[in-house]
Amino acid sequence: MRTRWLDETEMTAWVRLAAVLELLPGVLDSQLRRDAELTHYEYYVMAMLSEAPKRTLRMTALAQRTNATLPRLSHVVKRLEGRELVERFPCPEDARATNARLTATGWKKLRATAPGHVETVRQHVIDVLTPEQISQLAGIAGAILESVDPDGNLSAVYRR
Amino acid sequence: MRTRWLDETEMTAWVRLAAVLELLPGVLDSQLRRDAELTHYEYYVMAMLSEAPKRTLRMTALAQRTNATLPRLSHVVKRLEGRELVERFPCPEDARATNARLTATGWKKLRATAPGHVETVRQHVIDVLTPEQISQLAGIAGAILESVDPDGNLSAVYRR
DNA sequence: ACAAGATGGTTGTAGAGACAATCATCGGGA
DNA sequence: TCCCGATGATTGTCTCTACAACCATCTTGT
């Protein structure tokens, strides 16, 4: 089976996307680390909790929404628990399961952190694009997601 | 200074992009790990060397092109050197500097690995987009890069 | 010619994620 | 009812990256 190499246009698009993949996470991460001593992933975990009913979610559900393996999430939540931003308690309905809940402190922390984070996202993504490009981006990222995340775990909330 | 929150369209675009940022690197990484026991970053290092004159580059230049800190690159190259995919030797013109060169083994490895990698990129990115979307993607990623990588280190080769 | 700062690179240490192994509980079939 | 496979979660180990400290060489100004 012969390889279908990328033509010049495809190559340009891919190389630039790869560069964004490499650089953008670092930018977001530094800002959050610097201003809030939070990983981007930790921030995302807290954000997902904040949107859930009672700010509570089962570990498995939280892992899905944040695209983490359960072991990873377990470690992260343990750390967040140490900082009293999140708390864990056994799930009443299922003794195997654990619930994670955003604490009042965590909620405050999130509210204090969100503006800076949004500002960073604007500065490096939203505000450098035209409104038309923003719609295009939604379409493009959506298409890629369908192949990379067929079950729609990560973007479930915002889908269609 | 009041926060300019994201409206619904912007939010959709951003959430999807964030999901891609989170998932796509993992997909690329697994394929390379599985089929070639190579990190995506290691692959990228070798790819950059393969395109350089004499397949040789100074550590600093290589670090820039691959968006790594020098310490990171140093560790990675040491590992690759252990597998005889890359070799290091002092730079003749500047005794402080070190050159990294792709070995014959490394070159073979890269040629053997490239088709599978390209196939993965096609499957999850290129082939799920229309030709029009591919051009749009180049524009969008280009705009983001200008704010995130103003010096154009990473995408220098393919720019304009 | 020499000192002082800048540049190029490596090493050590600590933190975060991947993966495998493990444990506890649930659910379904004999 | 009891057993067994499936599910939910945690822990331990290994690898990789970031950051800081460090050393060597180059360059500039006097």
- List beta partners, residue B99: B58, B89
Measured CA to C1', what is the nucleotide nearest B71? C10
Structure confidence at residue B156 (pLDDT): 45
* pLDDT tens-digit map of A91-147: 999 999 999 999 999 999 999 999 999 999 999 999 999 999 999 999 999 999 998
Structure confidence at residue A156 (pLDDT): 43
* pLDDT tens-digit map of A125-134: 999 999 999 9
The residue behind tokens 């939540």 is: A77
Tell me the C-alpha to C-alpha distance, in Å, between residue B119 and each of A7, B45, B115: 13, 19, 6
Mean pLDDT of A149-160: 53
Structure confidence at residue A160 (pLDDT): 33
CA–C1' span, A96 to D3, in Å? 19
B3, B21, B123 member nearest A21 (Cβ): B21
CA-based nearest residue to A25, from A132, A125, A115, A113: A125
A101, A89 Cβ separation under 8 angstroms:
yes
A6, B152 Cβ separation under 8 angstroms:
no
Structure confidence at residue A152 (pLDDT): 61
Q: How far apart are CA B107 and CA B85, in angstroms?
A: 8
Structure confidence at residue A71 (pLDDT): 95
> How would DSSP label each residue in A72-125?
HHHHHHHHHHHTTSEEEEE-SS-TT-EEEEE-HHHHHHHHHHHHHHHHHHHHHT
Structure confidence at residue B154 (pLDDT): 60
Residues of chain B with pLDDT under 70: 152-160
Contact A157 B15 (CB under 8 A): yes
* pLDDT tens-digit map of A41-71: 999 999 999 999 999 999 999 999 998 899 9
Mean pLDDT of A141-155: 78
* CB hemisphere CA count around B71 (13 angstroms): 0
The H helix count followed by the E strand count for chain B is 6, 3
Q: Which residues of A94-125 are buried (b: 16+ CB within 10 A; e: fewer)?
A: eeeebbbebbeebeebbeebbeebbbbbbebb
Mutate to test the interface with A, among B7, B14, B66 (most CBs of A within 10 A): B14
Structure confidence at residue A153 (pLDDT): 60
Contact A155 B114 (CB under 8 A): no
Structure confidence at residue B153 (pLDDT): 64
Residues in chain B: 160
Structure confidence at residue B155 (pLDDT): 52
CA–C1' span, B150 to C8, in Å? 23
| pTM for the structure as a whole | 0.90
Structure confidence at residue A138 (pLDDT): 96
Contact B155 A19 (CB under 8 A): yes
Tell me the C-alpha to C-alpha distance, in Å, between residue B51 and each of B13, B38, B56, B57, B107: 34, 18, 9, 10, 11
Nucleotides of D under 7 A from a protein CB: 7-12, 16-21, 24-27
Read off the tokens for B122: 């096609």
Q: How far apart are CA A116 and CA A129, in angstroms?
A: 19
Read off the tokens for A8: 């010049």
- List beta partners, residue A57: A100
Residues 70-99 of B with CB under 8 A from A: none
Read off the tokens for A102: 């955003």
Structure confidence at residue B150 (pLDDT): 74
